[in-house]
């Protein structure tokens, strides 16, 4: 699959559910209205859709949410997709998770071929963690990390950079994650969906500023290491670990975008920061053959835009797109 700008689309991110057992303040409102179950694809339909993309050249598949591991019987989907690893058609099957369910599922994930996980942890302060996630328990997440590493899974920690909230903890997060053999990636706040009283402009911390401050404590050496996503990685000489930066606002990374995103309703977003989308649920259900579905995928990739339009400033403090990250896939 090649888009209008010559980019090969080899990476599919799939939100298997918009539901989550946390309510992170930068992601969603506390009183969320989730999708009716009738609108959500079955696990069998999700597997068929993902398999169609693998057949078309997708090499990396990431399951997200919401929180993917809260979906009932989700392991049946993950096991089904694992067959593409066995055949060699898929190079990597991985998940982004808040870690709350890892103690339960880590061994099963490793057994079906998952080798890497992204786990979201924005702070190591238990009270602050509860405040940021509204419902989360840091100890439960840390137990999940232990289980995942015991199962042999490689962990990357994702932390959203929040001005005045966790920016004073970056040095601690670096030393802690690297001390456990985990990479750390810092992410700028993304202007997606209404989030209640929290003001994104107040939350927003340019990672160019964070990087400069981190550089006062650590020696950062840029590397050519890539995982298929948008992060730019640096080696922290003092720890030997890697530190990544995802900067959709201060440094648009669209020129190398190889990704599309599929929601649990079968909607394909060709760009995270644009509203144009393609309905794949209708062609999926129109025929047991994949001919109509393949044509819909081809037409969608032909509409992939050059880039997103994320802006945060005093004139653009609201969401750039109305849908929440949990709908699109975080």
Residue 130 domain-assigned? yes
Residue 37 domain-assigned? yes
Of 146-160, 198-212, 223-237, 257-271, give the lowest mean pLDDT range.
198-212
Give tens-digit pLDDT for 66-90: 999 999 999 999 999 999 999 999 9
Give tens-digit pLDDT for 263-315: 999 999 998 767 789 999 999 999 999 999 999 999 999 999 887 554 444 44
Over 70: is that where the pLDDT of 224 sits?
A: yes
Residue 298 domain-assigned? yes
Residue 6 domain-assigned? no
Over 90: is that where the pLDDT of 226 sits?
A: no
Q: What is the DSSP string of 128-179?
A: HHHHHHSS--HHHHHHHHHHHHHTT-EEEEEEE-BTTTTGGGHHHHHHHHHH
Q: Which domain holds residue 61?
A: 11-328
The one-character DSSP state at 5 is T
Residue 2 domain-assigned? no
Q: What is the DSSP string of 18-42?
A: S--S---TTT--SS--PPPGGGSPP
Residue 74 domain-assigned? yes
| pLDDT value of position 313 | 46
In this prediction the pTM is 0.87
User: What CATH code is carried by the domain that includes residue 164?
Assistant: 3.20.20.70
Residue 1 domain-assigned? no
Over 80: is that where the pLDDT of 94 sits?
A: yes
Q: What is the count of structural domains for the chain?
A: 1
Stretch 219-241: mean pLDDT: 92
| pLDDT value of position 320 | 47
Residue 5 domain-assigned? no
Over 70: is that where the pLDDT of 92 sits?
A: yes
Residue 38 binned pLDDT confidence (cut-offs 50, 70, 90): confident
């Amino acid at each position: 699959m090649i888009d209008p700008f010559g980019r090969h689309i080899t990476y599919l991110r799939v939100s298997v559910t918009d539901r989550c057992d946390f309510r992170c303040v930068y992601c969603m409102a506390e009183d969320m209205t989730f999708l009716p179950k009738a609108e959500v694809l079955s696990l069998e339909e999700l597997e068929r859709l993902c398999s169609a993309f693998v057949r078309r050249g997708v090499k990396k598949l990431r399951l997200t949410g919401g929180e993917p591991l809260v979906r009932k019987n989700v392991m049946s989907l993950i096991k089904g997709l694992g067959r593409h690893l066995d055949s060699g058609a898929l190079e990597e099957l991985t998940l982004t998770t808040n870690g709350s369910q890892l103690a339960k599922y880590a061994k099963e994930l490793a057994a079906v071929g998952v080798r890497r996980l992204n786990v979201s942890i924005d702070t190591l302060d238990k009270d602050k963690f509860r405040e940021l996630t509204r419902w989360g328990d840091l100890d439960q997440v840390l137990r999940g990390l232990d289980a995942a590493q015991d199962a042999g899974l490689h962990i990357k920690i994702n932390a959203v950079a929040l001005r005045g909230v966790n920016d004073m903890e970056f040095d601690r997060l670096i030393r802690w994650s690297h001390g456990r053999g985990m990479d750390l990636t810092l992410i700028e706040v993304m202007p997606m969906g209404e989030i209640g009283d929290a003001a994104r402009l107040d939350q927003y911390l340019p990672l160019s500023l964070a990087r400069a401050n981190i550089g006062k404590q650590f020696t950062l050496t840029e590397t050519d290491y890539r995982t298929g996503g948008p992060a730019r990685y640096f080696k922290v000489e003092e720890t030997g670990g890697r530190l990544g930066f995802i900067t959709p606002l201060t440094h648009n990374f669209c020129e190398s975008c190889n990704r599309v995103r599929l929601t649990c309703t079968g909607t394909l977003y060709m760009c995270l920061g644009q509203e144009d989308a393609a309905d794949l649920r209708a062609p999926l259900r129109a025929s047991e053959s994949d001919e109509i579905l393949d044509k819909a995928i081809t037409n969608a990739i032909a509409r992939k835009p050059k880039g997103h339009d994320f802006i945060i400033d005093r004139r653009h403090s609201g969401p750039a797109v109305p849908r929440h990250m949990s709908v699109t896939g975080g």
